[in-house]
Chains A and B, each alone.
Chain A
Amino acid sequence: MTDPAALLLALRHADGTFPSGGFAFSQGLEARAALADDFGPFDLAAFLADQVLRRWAGADRVALVRAHRAAADLDRVATVDAEVEASTASEPLRAGSRRNGLAFLTAHRRLGTPGAEAYHRRIREGMAPGHVAVVQGLLWARLGLDETTASAMGGHVAVIGPATAAIRLGLVGAIEAQTAIATVTADLAAVCRRPIADGQPFSAFLPVVEIACARHATGDLRLFSN
């Protein structure tokens, strides 16, 4: 990446200060940390590695890239979106992804990003669920960010979100969190280099986190939405 304009565009859109709603979701981290007695002590680096390798690599990233490729045709984007809906077994993660997607889209509608208004209309009409990875792929493509860049941005956001949640929950210090993020960066980069076939199905396997999420969703004491 040498073009500073492209780099700056990517940085802005993947930045933690971009209003996306992502801060309200821990992606199962709060739930997993609360189950230390049953499943052993919480370890941020291990949690992030699981997120990247067992969920993001095979599911969210594939959805993002397929939506990115389909960005010119909202019918095709909606098909990818429907597949995400059907393949995400965990209700709290599925609902969270939809709410996060809608919030992200809300910022882009106000900003006038091409495609945002039209895709929002589909969600409103019940024609698309609006999962965040799909909306990221669609809008980042429409903003002119290439597939590899968009994929890396999605991975970055997927790691930063739970890491920030861990800091806010007091599980790790802000500097310590950077160490954990650094340990998964190589994994993230390797995953981003893996080719994705057109129509590649989604796969994710994180049973402990999904069980924890299911318990968290019915608990009356939680700070994060999932």
Chain B
Amino acid sequence: MDVAISPSKTVPTRLGAARVGIGGPVGSGKTALVERLIPALAERGVSLAVVTNDLVTAEDAERIRRSGLIDPARVVAVEAGACPHTVIREDPTLNIAAADDLEAAFPDLDLILIESGGDNLASTFSLDLVDWWMFVIDVAGGDDIPRKKGPGVIRCDLLVVNKIDLAPHVGVDLERMTREADAVRSGRPIALTVCRDGDGIDAVIDHICRDVLLR
């Protein structure tokens, strides 16, 4: 057998639309965030597409397509084979292929949002797949979430603390939660949101525009 094991010298730099991941536990508000981001980004002239990774079938993709906020052809569902973290980290090829296809179909794309299926605090995105990623946690999940130092909470580029409207109802001290999140993240950015009615979305958009789209 004539075998060359020499690795290829360079992995080519990818051109094209920026890819942004959205991870976080089940029900924390990832799809709600996407639904807020779509019109807000459109308003800033950002050409957008969305990939969802539903655990079972294509529920979130259908929800976004039906929202009327975006051309349904710009929304693609990738089935995650019962493994939401595998499809964004260990083997992101199906998601990369879906994003590549969107880029080929819509050459004007500036940004592709990739919503992970709901997972646990250990889920993180591979940088093979995304350029930058957010992790969405739910205030009602408890103010001790940041203290648990899950890799998702610590390593994401932007931590989105969602459902802050619920804090008084679930006995969460939001100020302490934010302080502790700041501490475990060594001061890297955090956004406080109510994705249900749009509170705090502007700050998320500012991060995307500045850190990812460089505008």
A residues lining the B interface (CB < 8 Å): 3, 5-6, 8-9, 17, 19-26, 99, 102-104, 106-107, 110-113, 124, 143-146, 149, 165, 168-169, 219-225
The contact string, 1 if C-beta is below 8 Å from chain A, for chain B 1-45, is: 111110111111000000000000000000000000000000000
Q: How many residues of B are counted as interface, with CB atoms below 8 angstroms from the partner's CB atoms?
A: 32
Complex A-B: 12 CB contacts under 8 Å: A6-B1, A24-B79, A99-B94, A103-B91, A106-B97, A107-B93, A143-B3, A145-B3, A168-B82, A219-B57, A223-B56, A225-B81
Interface centre among A23, A107, A219 (most CB of B within 10 A): A23
Question: What chain B residues lie within 8 Å of A220 (beta carbons)?
Answer: 56-57
Per DSSP, chain B at the interface is: loop
* Min CB–CB distance A166 → chain B (angstroms): 11
* Min CB–CB distance A90 → chain B (angstroms): 17
Q: Which 6 A-B pairs have the closest CB atoms?
A: A112-B8, A24-B81, A103-B93, A223-B82, A19-B91, A6-B1
* Min CB–CB distance B1 → chain A (angstroms): 4
Contact indicator B57/A221 (Cβ below 8 Å): yes
For the complex, give the distance between the alpha carbons of A124 and B80 in Å: 23
The contact string, 1 if C-beta is below 8 Å from chain A, for chain B 62-91, is: 000000000000000011111100110011
Inter-chain pairs besides A24-B79, A149-B1, A222-B79, 12 sampled, C-beta below 8 Å:
A3-B1, A5-B3, A19-B91, A19-B93, A21-B94, A22-B91, A24-B87, A103-B94, A107-B93, A111-B8, A112-B8, A225-B81
Question: What chain A residues lie within 8 Å of B90 (beta carbons)?
Answer: 17, 19
B173: interface (CB < 8 Å): no
* Min CB–CB distance B84 → chain A (angstroms): 11
Question: What chain A residues lie within 8 Å of B97 (beta carbons)?
Answer: 21, 99, 102-103, 106
Residue among A112, A146, A149 making CB contact with B10, cutoff 8 Å: A112
B108: interface (CB < 8 Å): no
Nearest A residue to B14, CB-CB: A110
* Min CB–CB distance A44 → chain B (angstroms): 16
For the complex, give the distance between the alpha carbons of A100 and B37 in Å: 31
* Min CB–CB distance A130 → chain B (angstroms): 10
Question: What chain A residues lie within 8 Å of B1 (beta carbons)?
Answer: 3, 6, 144-146, 149
For the complex, give the distance between the alpha carbons of A110 and B127 in Å: 13
For the complex, give the distance between the alpha carbons of A112 and B100 in Å: 16
Contact indicator B3/A144 (Cβ below 8 Å): yes
Contact indicator A5/B91 (Cβ below 8 Å): no
Nearest A residue to B53, CB-CB: A24
Known: A9-B5, A144-B3. A106 touches B81 (CB 8 A): no
Nearest B residue to A102, CB-CB: B97
Nearest B residue to A12, CB-CB: B5
Question: What chain B residues lie within 8 Å of A5 (beta carbons)?
Answer: 3, 5
For the complex, give the distance between the alpha carbons of A165 and B79 in Å: 13
Nearest A residue to B99, CB-CB: A106
Residue among A3, A113, A165 making CB contact with B81, cutoff 8 Å: A165
Contact indicator A225/B82 (Cβ below 8 Å): no
For the complex, give the distance between the alpha carbons of A224 and B78 in Å: 10
- Chain B, range 78-128, C-beta contacts under 8 Å to A: 78-83, 86-87, 90-94, 96-97, 100, 104, 128
For the complex, give the distance between the alpha carbons of A106 and B96 in Å: 7
